[in-house]
C-alpha cells in the first residue's frame, strides 16, 4: 500500500521521473514520421505515449527497489495479486463504472436531454474497449500506483491521497473548457482521483479495481457517445457536464453526486 516501506524518494526524482519518460517517448516516436510520412501528428503522439508506457514498465521496478527500498515492486504497485483477486476487483470496478454511467444516462433521459440512437458500429465499440484497457491501466499505474506511493513516502497517507488527486486533476485538460464549466470539471476530476484511491484501499492495495472503475468510465462513456446515446446540444452543462458537443459528465451535477456517493460508501477508508 502507498506509504509503507523504508525508502524516501527525493522530491526532484518524483517531479522529473514521468516527464522525462514522456519526453523520451515523444522523441523516440519522431523517427516514425520519417519512416511513414503519412502518419498524422496525433498518431505520432499516440506512438510516443506507447513508447513512454513501455519505458515506464521497464524502469518502475528499478525505481521502486532503489528509491523505495522495496524488493517486490509489482506487488507494492498493486498489480501482482492472485488471479482470482485481480479478476474480482477488476469486475467490481467495472460494475461501479457501469452503474455511474447508468445514473447519468437515466437522469438525462428523465429530463428529456438525451435519447437512444442505436448507431454503434464495431469501430466505436473497439475504440471504447481500447480506451477502457489503455487509459485505465496506464493512468492508474501512474497516479494510484507510482505517484501515490512516492507521495506517501514523503508526506504521509492522508496528505498524499489528496495530493495525488490534485495532480491527477490538474494534468487533465480541464482548462480547455470555457466558462465556469472548467471549475466543475476540475472539481469532478479531484473527486474521481479520491474515489479511485479509496477504491484501491478498499481492495486491500490491489490496483485492479481502480483500473476497472477508471477505464470503465472513460471507455463506457465513449461507447455511449459513439452511437448509443444522443445528448441534446441544448443540455445544460451543469447537468450533462461541460464540453459540448461531447460533454464530460463528471463535471456536472449528476457526475458529482455519483462520485460523492462512492466517497460516502468508502468513507471508512479515509483513516488508513
**DSSP per residue over 244-256, as a string?**
TTS--GGGSHHHH
Domain match, 25 and 126 both: no
Q: Cell numbers at residue 199, please?
A: 477504491
Domain match, 92 and 31 both: no
Domain match, 68 and 193 both: no
State how far the Cα of 154 lies from the Cα of 114, in Å rounded to an integer.
46
Domain match, 68 and 120 both: no
Closest CA to 220 of 104, 86, 89: 104
Position 6 scores a pLDDT of 60
pTM, two decimals, is 0.94
Domain match, 117 and 187 both: yes
Domain match, 28 and 152 both: no
Among the candidates 76, 111, 142, a domain finishes at 76
| 3-state DSSP assignment of residue 182 | helix
Domain match, 65 and 157 both: no
Domain match, 136 and 205 both: yes
Q: Rounded to whole angstroms, what are the CA distances from 214 to 144, 174, 200?
A: 11, 17, 11
Position 1 scores a pLDDT of 61
Among the candidates 16, 43, 76, a domain finishes at 76
Position 272 scores a pLDDT of 65
Position 44 scores a pLDDT of 86
Range of the domain at 125: 81-271
CB 106 within 8 A of CB 240: no
Domain match, 142 and 228 both: yes
Domain match, 99 and 165 both: yes
Domain match, 139 and 228 both: yes
How many domains are there within the chain?
Answer: 2
Q: Cell numbers at residue 59, please?
A: 524502469
Within 8 A by CB and 6+ apart from 5, the residues are 68, 69, 70, 76, 153
Judge if the upstream peptide bond of residue 245 is cis by omega within 30 degrees of 0.
yes
Alpha helices of 172-243 — where are they, by DSSP H? 181-202, 208-223, 237-240
Digitized pLDDT (tens) for each residue of the chain, 272 residues in all: 665 556 788 889 999 999 999 999 999 988 887 887 887 888 888 899 999 999 999 999 999 999 999 999 999 999 999 999 999 999 999 999 999 999 999 999 999 999 988 888 888 899 999 999 999 999 999 999 999 999 999 988 889 999 999 999 999 999 999 888 999 999 999 999 999 999 999 999 999 999 999 999 999 999 999 989 999 988 999 999 998 888 999 999 999 999 999 999 888 888 76
Q: Cell numbers at residue 138, please?
A: 496506464
Domain match, 54 and 186 both: no
Among the candidates 58, 76, 94, a domain finishes at 76
State how far the Cα of 61 lies from the Cα of 121, in Å rounded to an integer.
40
Amino acid at each position: 500500500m502507498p506509504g509503507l516501506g523504508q525508502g524516501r524518494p527525493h522530491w526532484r526524482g518524483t517531479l522529473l521521473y514521468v516527464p522525462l519518460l514522456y519526453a523520451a517517448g515523444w522523441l523516440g516516436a519522431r523517427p516514425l514520421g520519417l519512416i511513414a510520412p503519412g502518419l498524422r501528428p496525433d498518431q505520432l503522439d499516440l506512438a510516443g505515449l506507447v513508447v513512454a508506457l513501455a519505458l515506464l514498465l521497464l524502469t518502475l521496478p528499478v525505481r521502486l527497489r532503489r528509491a523505495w527500498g522495496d524488493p517486490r515492486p509489482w506487488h507494492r504497485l498493486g498489480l501482482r495479486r492472485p488471479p482470482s483477486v485481480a479478476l474480482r476487483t477488476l469486475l467490481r470496478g467495472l460494475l461501479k463504472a457501469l452503474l455511474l454511467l447508468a445514473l447519468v444516462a437515466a437522469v438525462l433521459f428523465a429530463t428529456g436531454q438525451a435519447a437512444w440512437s442505436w448507431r454503434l458500429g464495431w469501430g466505436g465499440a473497439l475504440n471504447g474497449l481500447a480506451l477502457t484497457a489503455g487509459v485505465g491501466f496506464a493512468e492508474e499505474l501512474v497516479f494510484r500506483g507510482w505517484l501515490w506511493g512516492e507521495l506517501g513516502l514523503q508526506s504521509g497517507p492522508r496528505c498524499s491521497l489528496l495530493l495525488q488527486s490534485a495532480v491527477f486533476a490538474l494534468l487533465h485538460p480541464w482548462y480547455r473548457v470555457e466558462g465556469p464549466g472548467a471549475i466543475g470539471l476540475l472539481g469532478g476530476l479531484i473527486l474521481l482521483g479520491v474515489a479511485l484511491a479509496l477504491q484501491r484501499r478498499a481492495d486491500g492495495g490491489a490496483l485492479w479495481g481502480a483500473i476497472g472503475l477508471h477505464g470503465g468510465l472513460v471507455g463506457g462513456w465513449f461507447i455511449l457517445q459513439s452511437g448509443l446515446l444522443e445528448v441534446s446540444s441544448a443540455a445544460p452543462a451543469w447537468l450533462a457536464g461541460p464540453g459540448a458537443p461531447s460533454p464530460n459528465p463528471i463535471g456536472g451535477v449528476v457526475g458529482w453526486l455519483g462520485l460523492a456517493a462512492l466517497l460516502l460508501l468508502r468513507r471508512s477508508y479515509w483513516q488508513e
